[in-house]
């Protein structure tokens, strides 16, 4: 049955009965519900899939099966992507940011479900990644595709992508405020009166529907056991610097491992090496299995030493507890390696849960060392929670998201002050050494990142193809002056690109250079275009960013430049046309 006629009828009906604002609120509610369904489907699917996988070997053989389970999961994921999806669906949040900055908010329809399926295979078999990024990517794709179906403009499409992302985070953690702030901080949407209500509506709807289906099973939920003690503030300050430095290690190691994996040319070789090394790591350190929420619960349960007993090092337990601390330190540093091996080998997942995992371990280690060696007594429970916020703030450069997420999953704001202190210091520490987050550093390096700088955003959204002009008359180098004059007579421009028969750009003829001789008929047959042309001081590549184009305009002093691709002529860009397009887009983004 053809769906489009029904969509057209609905759009006609909504024009008559729904205002634009009410229609956006309706769409944000629908997006919230669908994002919650995606979150529930993935969380439930991975839970039962992982339980089934763990039952296969039996209790005594479980650790040995860890050697091959992650490899199997990544293999199934790679086969699914290669033969069913046939598209790159990795790095979900970065792909959302790319869609916003470079693709007018357009995300493919398959993104509404493929990440969920792929992550189920990867994480269910023990891949050391989080499920949040695939769910956020799914929510964003739902928003993008609904906006496309409703024929909304660029700006509202981006708003609905934000609604989907906010709803996804809210549904995962039952944390609507954190979901809203995630869309503002990580996706860098601007908070205006026109955007706040749809974002809030989507986030609250996602949280409500997720709680309805999962109840307290939404990720994890904790009730604070220990009151905040103001005397611990100096330690929270140090914890902020500590988690900030670990955040830098997290981002650096992730880039190193994924970069090394990319250098392994063949897909199957990369899969085999990454999967086997990952299996060995999980065999030696079982807490690295899966996204890590089981480990995080154990760290907050009051019996964290149980994690060591489940590993091959369990028989080495000592009464001092130093072996346990050493074990946790190894897990802390190896988690990012395991995560990067999973994604580098072809698995699908994100860094959200691994960030929380590492922060969880870091906060506990920090508190345990203080209690063991300093003579002071601090709450290991509270420091473990606050450490999670510190890592999240440092890795994602999103301190507000970190603060409100931990506040919401603990059901109150008792830890608000230490959360603010640690998250802020962690963010400032990480930002001082690395100005972009793990999500944005590659996009920023390519000039494809939107920020809260409106002028910069407009330049980022513009590309050469959006300002290129193809109406200029071209000439070939063998034309004589008489033939050139005929071209000039019918043209409305004063520059004429010179091309050879294969469309290669050879130079330009400037009207001012032939004005004095164009009426001298005695030279019509003698002078050739090749005698009159010159090669300009600068040209533009079709793939250049608009920042590069504007810099070339400034450096060369030209008002028009030829656009080339591999030496082939594609058209011209002019300062005046760039300014006109820029001004129109600036007005569009400035409207409330």
> For the domain that residue 116 is a member of, what is the CATH number?
1.10.3080.10
Q: What pLDDT is attached to residue 511?
A: 83
- What's the rounded Cα separation, in Å, for the pair 241 and 252? 17
What is the C-alpha to C-alpha distance for residues 263 and 510, in angstroms, rounded to an integer? 48
Q: Which of 51-65, 185-199, 285-299 has the lowest mean pLDDT?
A: 51-65
Domain termination residue (choose one: 404, 436, 452): 452
Q: Do residues 64 and 283 make contact, with C-beta atoms less than 8 angstroms apart?
A: yes
- The per-residue pLDDT for 565 is 87
Same domain, 305 and 422: yes
Q: How far apart are CA 434 and CA 455, in angstroms?
A: 23
- Residue 425 counted as domain residue: yes
Which residue reads 């980022």 in tokens?
Answer: 460
* β-pair type (560-565, 540-541): parallel
Binning pLDDT at 50, 70 and 90, where does residue 301 land?
confident
Residue 182 CA to residue 402 CA, distance in Å, equals 9
C-alpha–C-alpha distance, residues 162 and 350, integer Å: 18
Specify which of 63-67, 214-218, 475-479 reaches the highest per-range mean pLDDT: 475-479
Residue in the structure block whose two tokens are 């002529």: 569
Q: What is the pLDDT of residues 32-58, one digit of tens each?
A: 999 999 988 888 888 787 777 767 655
Residue 379 scores a pLDDT above 70: yes
* Residue pair 401/392 in contact by the 8 Å Cβ criterion: yes
In this prediction, residue 67 carries a pLDDT of: 84
**One domain for residues 46 and 122:** yes
CA dist., res. 539 & res. 124, Å (int): 52
Q: What is the pLDDT, as a whole number, of residue 313?
A: 74
The H or E element that residue 97 is part of is helix 92-102
102 and 189 in a common domain: yes
**In this predicted model, which residue has the larger pLDDT, 73 or 492?**
73
For residues 100 and 109, give the distance between their C-alpha atoms in angstroms, rounded to a whole number: 16
pLDDT band at 204 (very low <50, low <70, confident <90, very high): very high
Mean pLDDT over each residue of the chain, to the nearest integer: 84
pLDDT band at 460 (very low <50, low <70, confident <90, very high): low
In-domain check, residue 271: no
Burial track 315-350 (b if 16+ CB lie within 10 A, e otherwise)? eeeeeeeebbbebbebbbebbbbbbbbbbbbbbbbb
Q: What is the mean predicted confidence (pLDDT) over 376-394? A: 93
Mark whether 438 and 338 lie in a shared domain.
yes
Q: Cα separation of 417 and 258, whole Å?
A: 36
Select from 297, 218, 298 the least CA-distant residue to 43: 218
Q: Which residue has the higher pLDDT, 545 or 445?
A: 545
The whole domain housing 38 covers: 4-217
Q: Virtual CA dihedral for 351, 357, 363, 369, nearest 10 degrees?
A: -120
Residue 448 and residue 469 share a domain: no
Give tens-digit pLDDT for 348-373.
Answer: 998 999 999 999 999 999 999 999 88
Say if 224 falls within a structural domain. no
**Alpha-carbon gap, residue 245 to 251, rounded angstroms:** 10
Residue 272 lies in a domain: no
Tokens of 542: 């079709």
pLDDT digits (tens, 9 = 90+) for 389-431: 999 999 999 999 999 999 988 877 889 999 999 999 999 999 9
Last residue of a domain, one of 428, 452, 476: 452
Average pLDDT for residues 208-233, to the nearest whole number? 77
Spatial distance between the Cα atoms of 430 and 392, rounded to a whole number of angstroms: 11
Of 399, 433, 452, which residue is a domain's last? 452
201, 304: one domain? no
pLDDT digits (tens, 9 = 90+) for 227-239: 888 999 999 999 9
| Residues 287 and 396 occupy one common structural domain | yes
Return the minimum-mean-pLDDT range out of 109-113, 351-355, 470-474, 588-592: 588-592
DSSP assigned state of 504 = B
Write out the two tokens for 128.
């050391």
Provide the domain count of the chain: 3
Least confident of 49-53, 105-109, 527-531, 561-565: 49-53
The predicted structure's pLDDT at residue 13: 65
Tokens 């691994």: give the residue.
354
Regarding whether 160 and 196 lie in a shared domain, the answer is: yes
Bigger pLDDT: 383 vs 584? 383
Greater model confidence, 374 or 188:
374
Q: Is residue 24 part of a domain?
A: yes
What dihedral angle (degrees, nearest 10) is formed by the CA atoms of 454, 141, 41, 84? -140
- 565 three-state secondary structure: strand
The reply to whether 249 falls in a domain is yes
Segment among 206-220, 440-454, 559-573 with least mean pLDDT: 440-454
Query: In this structure, are 548 and 444 located in the same domain?
Result: no
Average pLDDT over residues 170-179: 91
Which of 240-249, 272-281, 361-370, 478-487 shows the lowest per-residue confidence on average (mean pLDDT)? Answer: 478-487
Residue 1: pLDDT band with limits 50, 70, 90: very low
In this prediction, residue 441 carries a pLDDT of 77
Question: Given strand 560-565, what is the order of strands in its sheet?
Answer: 540-541, 560-565, 568-574
pLDDT, tens digit, 9 for 90 and up, residues 272-284: 999 999 999 998 8
Distance CA 339, CA 70 (A): 11
Predicted pLDDT of residue 387: 96
pLDDT of residue 566: 84
CA distance 322 to 561: 67
179 and 210 in a single domain? The answer is yes
Q: Is the backbone of residue 411 left (phi > 0), alpha (psi -120 to 50) or beta? A: left
Answer whether residue 225 is part of any domain. no
Checking if the pLDDT of 592 tops 50, the result is no
Q: Please indicate, yes or no, whether residues 429 and 402 belong to a single structural domain of this protein.
A: yes
The strand pair at 560-565 and 568-574 is best described as antiparallel
In a domain, 532, yes or no: yes
The two structure tokens encoding residue 239: 């914890």
Say if residue 408 is in the same domain as residue 528.
no
pLDDT top residue among 143 and 458: 143
């Amino acid at each position: 049955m053809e769906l489009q006629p029904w969509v057209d009828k609905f759009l006609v009906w909504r024009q008559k009965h729904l205002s634009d604002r009410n229609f956006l609120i309706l769409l944000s509610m629908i997006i919230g519900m669908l994002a919650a369904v995606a979150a529930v489907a993935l969380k439930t699917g991975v839970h039962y899939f992982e339980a089934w996988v763990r039952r296969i070997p039996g209790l005594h053989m479980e650790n040995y099966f860890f050697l091959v389970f992650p490899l199997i999961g990544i293999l199934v994921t790679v086969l699914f992507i290669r033969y069913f999806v046939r598209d790159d669906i990795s790095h979900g949040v970065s792909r959302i940011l790319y869609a916003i900055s470079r693709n007018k908010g357009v995300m493919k329809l398959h993104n509404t479900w493929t990440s969920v399926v792929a992550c189920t295979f990867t994480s269910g078999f023990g891949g050391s990644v989080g499920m949040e990024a695939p769910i956020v990517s799914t929510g964003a794709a739902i928003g993008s595709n609904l906006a496309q179906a409703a024929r909304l403009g660029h700006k509202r499409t981006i708003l609905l992508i934000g609604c989907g992302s906010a709803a996804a985070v809210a549904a995962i953690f039952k944390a609507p405020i954190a979901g809203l702030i995630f869309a503002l901080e990580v996706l860098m949407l601007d908070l205006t009166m026109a955007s706040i209500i749809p974002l809030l509506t989507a986030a609250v709807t996602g949280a409500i529907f997720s709680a309805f289906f999962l109840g307290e099973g939404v990720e994890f939920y904790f009730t604070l056991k220990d009151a905040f003690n103001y005397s611990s503030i100096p330690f929270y300050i140090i914890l902020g610097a500590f988690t900030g430095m670990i955040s830098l290690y997290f981002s650096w190691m992730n880039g190193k491992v994924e970069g090394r994996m990319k250098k392994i040319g063949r897909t199957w070789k990369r899969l085999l090496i990454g999967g086997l090394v990952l299996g060995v790591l999980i065999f030696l350190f079982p807490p690295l299995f899966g996204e890590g929420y089981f480990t995080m619960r154990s760290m907050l349960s009051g019996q964290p030493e149980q994690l060591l007993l489940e590993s091959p090092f369990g028989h080495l337990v000592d009464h001092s507890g130093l072996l346990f601390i050493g074990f946790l330190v190894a897990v802390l540093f190896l988690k990012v390696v395991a995560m990067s091996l999973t994604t580098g080998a072809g698995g699908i997942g994100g860094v959200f849960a691994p960030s929380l995992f590492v922060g969880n371990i870091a906060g506990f280690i920090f508190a345990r060392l203080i209690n063991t060696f300093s003579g002071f007594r601090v709450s290991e429970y509270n420091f473990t929670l606050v450490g999670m916020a510190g890592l999240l703030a440092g890795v994602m450069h999103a301190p507000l998201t970190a603060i409100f997420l931990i506040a919401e999953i603990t059901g109150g704001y008792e830890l608000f002050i230490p959360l603010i202190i640690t998250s802020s210091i962690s963010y400032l520490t990480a930002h001082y050494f690395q100005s972009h987050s793990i999500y944005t550093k590659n996009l920023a390096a390519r000039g494809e990142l939107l920020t809260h700088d409106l002028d910069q955003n407009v330049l980022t959204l513009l590309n050469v193809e959006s300002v290129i002009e193809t109406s200029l008359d071209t000439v070939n180098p063998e034309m004589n002056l008489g033939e050139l004059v005929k071209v000039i007579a019918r043209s409305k421009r004063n520059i004429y690109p010179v091309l050879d028969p294969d469309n290669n750009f050879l130079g330009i003829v400037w009207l001012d250079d032939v004005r004095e001789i164009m009426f001298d008929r005695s030279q019509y047959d003698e002078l050739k275009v090749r005698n009159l042309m010159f090669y300009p001081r600068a040209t533009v590549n079709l793939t250049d960013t608009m920042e590069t184009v504007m810099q070339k305009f400034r450096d060369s002093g030209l008002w028009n430049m030829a656009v080339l691709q591999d030496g082939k002529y594609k058209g011209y860009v002019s300062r005046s046309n760039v300014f006109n397009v820029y001004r129109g887009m600036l007005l569009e983004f400035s409207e409330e």
